[in-house]
């Protein structure tokens, strides 16, 4: 089931799936600060997108936590991959929430600057980096809702949640956070 809400003239969607299979202008990678590739979303994007993406990452060299950079999408159908770096979660007292929000904002700013109208995000930080799912979902959804409210040029943001649990948590949090929601399913 897809949950869809309208934020101003833009749309926010939650779906379950694999981010590498998404039709979107921009696909967001859960990258590390070295832009070195790895497991999870990062491995899947580099496998599906081919070596061009890693070559572009090497040329950039790295990206601080809470920031994002953009590269080619290689063999993926997207126009660009946006590599966003979430914090490694320790105890929630190390500025993790601010850094996670910053990673989402940086990715969204790049999408807006690059004229990417549709953007697919994974759940940044909630895999290898250990951010608790509900807290991460709240930061993610609040940040995207705020951004879309003031940047109608980004027309659609889709969260692609890998498993049922993540989808259920994001759905619950979205129902609580969306200000002018018009939930529907399809
Ligand atoms: P991080 O290092 O930022 O925690 P991960 O890639 O380890 O990033 O995990 C982020 C989230 O993405 C996890 O919830 C994980 O289950 C999910 N995930 C893993 N592979 C995929 C994929 N191919 N598509 C979408 N989500 C994925």
CB 83 within 8 A of CB 38: no
pLDDT bin (cut points 50, 70, 90) of residue 185 is very low
Q: Which residue's entry shows tokens 């590599």? A: 83
pLDDT cut 70: percent of the chain above it: 96
Q: Which residue's entry shows tokens 């700013």? A: 109
Query: Which ligand 1 atom sits closest to the C-alpha of 160?
Result: 25
Cα 120 to ligand 1 centroid, rounded to whole Å: 13
What does the pLDDT read at residue 180? 53
Among 14, 16, 21, 30, which is best to mutate for testing ligand 1, by the most ligand atoms less than 8 A from CB?
30
What does the pLDDT read at residue 27? 98
Digit-coded pLDDT (tens) for 45-61:
999 999 999 999 999 99
CA 21 to chain CA centroid, Å, is: 14
Taking the whole predicted model, whether its pTM rises above 0.85 is answered as yes
Is the domain 3-179 a CATH 3.20.20.370 member? no
User: Is 49 in a helix, a strand, or coil?
Assistant: helix
Q: Which residues, other chains included, contact 60 with Cβ-Cβ below 8 Å and sequence gap of 6+?
A: 35, 69, 71
* Residue 181 half-sphere exposure toward CB, CA atoms < 13 A: 20
Q: If we measure between CA atoms, which residue out of 124, 136, 115 comes closest to residue 162?
A: 124
Among 24, 28, 41, 133, which is best to mutate for testing ligand 1, by the most ligand atoms less than 8 A from CB?
41
> Does pLDDT of 99 surpass 90?
yes
């Amino acid at each position: 089931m897809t949950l869809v809400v309208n934020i101003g003239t833009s749309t926010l969607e939650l779906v379950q799936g694999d981010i590498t299979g998404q039709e979107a202008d921009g696909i967001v990678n859960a990258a590390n600060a070295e832009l070195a590739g790895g497991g999870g979303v990062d491995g899947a994007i580099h496998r599906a997108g081919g070596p061009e993406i890693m070559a572009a990452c090497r040329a950039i060299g790295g990206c601080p936590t809470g920031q994002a950079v953009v590269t080619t999408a290689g063999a993926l159908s997207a126009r660009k991959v946006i590599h966003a770096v979430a914090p490694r979660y320790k105890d929630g007292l190390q500025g993790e929430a601010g850094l996670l929000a910053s990673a989402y904002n940086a990715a969204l700013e790049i999408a807006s600057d690059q004229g990417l109208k549709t953007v697919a995000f994974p759940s940044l930080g909630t895999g290898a980096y250990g951010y608790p799912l509900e807290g991460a979902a709240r930061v993610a959804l609040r940040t995207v809702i705020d951004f879309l409210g003031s940047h109608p040029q980004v027309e659609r943001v889709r969260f692609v949640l890998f498993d049922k649990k993540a989808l259920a948590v994001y759905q619950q949090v979205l129902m609580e956070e969306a200000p002018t929601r018009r939930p529907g399913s399809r």
